[in-house]
Structures are given as structure tokens and as C-alpha cells.
Structure 1
Amino acid sequence: MMNTFRIKGGQTLRGDFYPQGAKNEALQVICAVLLTSKPVRIKNIPEIQDVLKLIEILETLGVKITKNAKGDYTFCSEHIDFDYLKSNEFRRDGAKLRGTIMILGPLLGRFKEGYIPIPGGDKIGRRRLDTHFQGFKNLGAVFTYKEEEKFYSVVAKELKGCYMLLEEASVTGTANIIMAAVLAEGQTQIYNAACEPYIQQLCKMLCSMGAKINGIGSNLLTIEGVSQLDGTEHTVLPDMIEIGSIIGLAAMTQSEITIKNVSWDNLGNIPDTFKRLGIRIERKNDDMFIPSQKHYKIQNFIDGSILTISDAPWPGFTPDLISIILVVATQAKGSLLIHQKMFESRLFFVDKLIDMGAQIILCDPHRATVIGMNQEVPLRATNMASPDIRAGIALLIAAMSAKGESLISNIYQIDRGYENIDVRLRALGADIERIAT
């Protein structure tokens, strides 16, 4: 049985919104529990499909898992079932989730072997794994790919630290290499490392377990290998992507929303990017207040040319919010060029917005020009399917602002990244219902 969202748009929302824990951080730090035989307690874990699947896979792998409270889990990886890792069952389970790629680094670091099927995830273009495996090879691992089985393995007699320059600042690649290197012999230097807050959080957690990592927050990490790691407690940051999504929702629905405990210092240029679309955002301690606005005007560049918003590795603007920026621009005053550099299929959902009456020119797989309608011509309600997590939430925001009743099917894609989003939006006054179809 499939679920669908039925949304009556045009409702003005009001109230406090509490963001979930960060999905991308949770996937990394949960995999890091494999680095030690001691208990690791992690709090503020978002109970969303992708995270729960990873927890289920770790449990099948032999990790003892205790749920202390909602979003609060203790993991103990004393015993690992390598027979499961080599089984057809794991080939099936692991292929459903892209996050499983990050079990390789800790398994390689601690046990000197790791196995993984080609991981799944959003179909948003090529998402190469070369950075992961080249990093493992640099540390001394032997990489094997069985094409007929679509199965990867990395094995090493020993891991030795080295200097490496990453081909790309891959977040998951950096995380994987860090987790292998903390138990390697000697010093590892990783240049062109990703430096997102999630990577910083992973490094801080590993240091609390006894790892030695310098350069946290920069693109040059220096790791002194240790022989073993201890247990720890860790709290996941609020999800910056969900925070950005709610900023966009507030603007599109002309709503007054306070987003609670946003961890401002870890939001980078997200608030300023939305402000460039004319959206008012106020800081109140660690809360974010978005007042109701009837109109918001896109700022041009200083020379008067059309504003371009593009994605880039941190501290650039995150690609996960490009779809939100695009949908918000459809009701702004002014025009905007969206340049999605990192994934070539992430703009292909705009045809659904065009069906709703949005004025968008898809220039090529990476660029779209949006002509804002200044809230004068509301989007039309329609029926559509969610193609991936981020496009799905963008379409949900569009439906919330549209006049009439919309249906969004394939909402499993939204559930993968947003925990009980319908329940939490109803608490703000949204008219949204989950129905079985």
C-alpha cells in the first residue's frame, strides 16, 4: 500500500517549529560506532526512513542497539557478523540505502576488511565513489569490484597513514577516509577534505572517543592514528536542510513561523541566501523568526545584473536547498538564475512546477531561470509524484501555497528525509493529510 499527501493549499501557518536532527550527520556518526567495541550513545537522531534502515542493517550486522528514548540510541559493536556482510541478504539490504557506503571506513579501520553492494539513494545524477576507494587505497587497502555481483570489497593487511589530495571534496568520501585513518598507523593528512558542520561533528565525536584530529573545520585534516577508540556520548545538530525548507515554506505561504534552536553558528550562508530573495529573517537567541510577508523582492547583483544562486561545497551554498530556493523564487518579485552545478538531474522536477503555473525556463540540466510572480498569480493545485527527497519537499511547499487541493504520491521519498512532516505541519495550521492509495 502506498501513501499520498492530500494538501489544501493557501493556508497561512503560525507557530513554533522544532527541527529534527540532521540526517546527513546521523548517517555518519551512526556508522562511526563500528570503530569501537565500547558503547556509544547518540542523541537527537532523526527517526526517518534512511536512518532507521541504517540502524536496522547495523543490528543485523551484530551491533547491539538499545533505544533509550525517542531519537536516543546506544550502540555497542562488540561483535560483528562478517558472514552477513558477505551474504546475499546484505547485498539486498545494503543496496537500498546510499548511507551504507560509510560502514566501509570504520570496518576497514578496525577489522581491516569491509564489503558493500552498490548503494542506492536518490536518482539525482552521477554520485561517484572514486574518492572513497582511492582514499582507502592510499592507506594501503586493496580494492576489488565484482561487476557481475555489483559488490565492492576493501581488504588490508595493515593501514598506514599518508598524505592525500582528494579529487573532490566529497562529504561521505571524507567521512569514510577519516574513519579508516583514525586507526591507521602513523600520520594521515587529507587535503581538499570536505569541511561541512557534519564532518566537524564527526571529527569532534571521534576525538571524544580518543582519536587525534587537527584542522577540524578546514580543508586540511591531520590525523595521528591510535590503536583503539573508546565509547562516548554525542548529540546530533539540528538539520540545516529542514531549517531552510521551513524558511521557504514560511515565505511561500506568507506565514509567521519561529524555528527553534537552529544552531545559528552551523548554518553558514543559508540565512543570507534566503535574505537575497527578500525574505526577512530575524535572530532571537538561537531561534529563527520569519515574520509574515505579503511580498519579497529578489536582490540583483550590485551592477544590476540578474541574481544567480549556485551550489558549492561548504562553506558554499548546499545543493540540498537549491530546489527550495527555486520554488520560493516562483512567487518572488524579480528573476533568478539557478545554477545546480553538482548534480545534473536535480532540476528535472521543474516541469511539475510549470504545470502549476510557475514561470520557469529550464536552460539545460544544470540551469533554470525563474521569473517570479510576486504572489499575484498563485500556483495551481495539481496531482504529482515526489521524485526524490529534496524535490519532494519543494513540491510539498508549492502545494501548500497553491490554491485548491493537491495530491503528492510517492511520499516515501519525502519520509526518507523528513520525520512526520505532515503531523508537524498540521501543528502550524496546515491542511495536510496522509491517505492510503
Structure 2
Amino acid sequence: MALTDPFLSSEGESTRRGGARHSLANIKTLLEHHAEVRGLVFSAWTIKSEQQKVELFIQDHPVYRLTVMNDDQNTLRIQLFRLTEQSESFVLNFCPHIEVETIHETPLTPSVWIAMGCLPGAVSEMWHGNDAFDHPGFQALLTSRVPRQWQKSDINNYLAALLISLLQDYSVEDALLLAHASSVSRETWPIHCHDFPDLLCFEPATKKPVLNNNSKDYPPWPEVDREQLRFYPVLPNVEWVKKLSSAGAKTLQLRNKGNRDAHYINEIRLAIELGHQQGLQLFINDDWQLAIELGAYGVHLGQQDLQTADLTAINQANLRLGISTHGYFEILNAMRIQPSYLALGHVFATTTKVMPSKPQGLQRLKELKSFVAQCCPTMPTVAIGGIDLTNAEQIIETGVSSIAVVRAVTEADDLDGVMAEFNQIMVNSKWGDNAER
């Protein structure tokens, strides 16, 4: 991935909308010729590594390479980037100011284009994204929570934090957020909510940006019962809803991916009726129209669904709302709506659905749970993805409100035995969110 930065290269200068744009052949060139950025990259990695209790070794010849020794004494070598001559695929354009209308008229190219500049009293960013993003074909407008103006001296810090975040397998969206937040937090790895920018707009790039779209325009969403939320099976059909409710589960999600025919509709109707009869917190996955029509307890939506679902109708129907997230950017996007709960995933590798993101792991899960708690201390969090009896207690120790399970129950040889073990874990565990209620 090539990067373009307007102040770090001395060749290929061109003027674009008031800001300079330069091309760098690759990251190695940048690091060799800009000692300050190189030092910032290493120091940023050190700061992050110290938080994860790892030791840092640096090998800088013949290519810049970061070598990390983890707690298990396994060596992990990470090259900054492949040293290949690639066409420009990632553009950072630092501008004196951002003109939303002008930016919107810019035709999308195969590159990701990031404009950075100032709105009154705040550093702001405008993103246009294609395939390099987890959310291709979208635009976003962000502005810092802390009143400040962008300085030319901030650029090296921003770029260093961006590189480190990409090296740590954060998505491009999350890496950009962390780079912005690092410019606010200074000398520390950003962990505080106020270090991160506000997400003012997140829409398909074909639309003109509407500021504050979906932003806190709804009455409070109905709350879930946290005690009943602790154990959260996600199930493929109504028969499994019957089995798990009989086994004592009080919160369930029906994720039926069949065709929307008469059988499908009847399955959801029967599940909702069963939920009402037994006092279940039953969420319907994705199909918010049918959930409203049949009077479901709640609906669970993915990030893409937020672009098309009628959130006002869901809210007016008094349904609880759960939203899937896979990192900082999606958390900020979901928090604009303030749903009934947030799902954080996927923690471990899963085969139940195709996931565009990489597994978070326990450390990243803990990091994201802490971030949610700072943004909204009362927001319940549900961990999902590859959770079973072997790792459930470790997941709970990260402080989440709930664990969602799929294959751990649907592929169990002894469902009663598995449920008994999960119930014991639920009873014996110290849930980290008790103090937040």
C-alpha cells in the first residue's frame, strides 16, 4: 500500500483544492529519508507494545522491520510493507479547510482519498473510500471533540500512528481514527473516548453528505435485562429456539438465512409467539420489517443494515435494537444511534458466516469494551465469534456484559451437558459491568 503525504516528499508536487499532494514510492523511502517519522513509528510501537506487555526489538537493515517478542517467547516479525512499486492506492491530502460540496463532486477513483483540514474550531477529516476500506463506496465526515487547529507539525505524528495501527491489523478506518486520536492524546496510545473524533456523517458516496445523519434523533431505545442477557445463543430456526428456551436460555437471536417465503415467515412468527409465552428476550436478525409486523421483542442489525433500515419505524414500534460492530469506526457509527446493546466481534475465528474483518482476540476485545464503556458507561456489550466452553471465562474477564454462542450449542453432542456447564460459568463469573448499571 503506497501512501501519499503532502509535506514529507519533495518531488511530484501538485496543488489540489488548496492543499499540496506528493507521491512516495513506498514506505521504505519514507522511513529512510525522514528520521523523525522513523523515530515516531518506533516510539509509537513501543507505547502500544508496553500496554500489551511485550518486548521490542528493532532490526533496521536491510529493510525496516519490527520484531516483537511476546509473553510465550515466540518471535513475531512484521515488515512495515512490501517493498514494491505500486500505483497510488492511498491518498492523504492535508488541506487548509474542507469544502464538503466540492469534495462530494470529486469523482471516485480506485484510490482511497482522505482530506484533512479544519472546520471552525476543530480538526476535521473527509473520507472517500473504495476497496481498501472495510466499507467500500462510502464517505464519512469526522471532527475532533477537542477544540484545536491542525498544525503542520502534527503530520509526522499522524502518519506514524497510522502506520503502527495498520501494522497491528487494524482496519484502514480504525487506523485513521487511531491516528487522529493519537494526535490529540500525545505521547500515549489513545484510550480515552474524548481523544477520538465525532462521526458526523457516514453514507454511501453516491449521496451528498448529510451532517448528523442518524445522530441521536431517536427517543431512548428500550433497555434489555442485563441478567437475562448474559448468555445469548444465536440460532438458525424455531426448533433451536424451543430447545434452548427449554434448557433455560432467556435471551436468544433467530438468525434464519432462508428465503423469505411462507415457511420463513411462519418460523419467525412461531419464534416470536414462543418468546412472548416464555418471557424471552428474542431478537430477530436483520428482518426488521417482519419483526415490527409480528411484534418481536427486538431486532439485531449489521452495519450495512443501518444504511437501509427504517430506524424511526423500529424505534416507534418499541423494539430493542442490537448492532454488530467490529472496531472503533463501527462502534462510533453505532453509538450515534445509542442502541439497546452493541455486539463486539468477532473475537475468535468462526465458520458460521463469512467475515470481512479479522478475529479481534482477547486483548483487542478488552480494548474495545473499555472504549464503549467510556463513550456510554451504561451500554451493554455482547462478545461474539468462536466462543465456547474453552474460552468463555476468558471472554467474561474482559468486562463484557454477555457472551453470544452459536456452534457451541448447535453442534453440541450433549446439549444438556453443555448448557449445564455454561450455566455454571454464568453463576460463578464476576461480570465486569455490574458497577456500570
What's the TM-score once normalised by structure 1's chain length? Answer: 0.27
What's the TM-score once normalised by structure 2's chain length? Answer: 0.27
Higher relative contact order (CA 8 A, sep 6+): 1
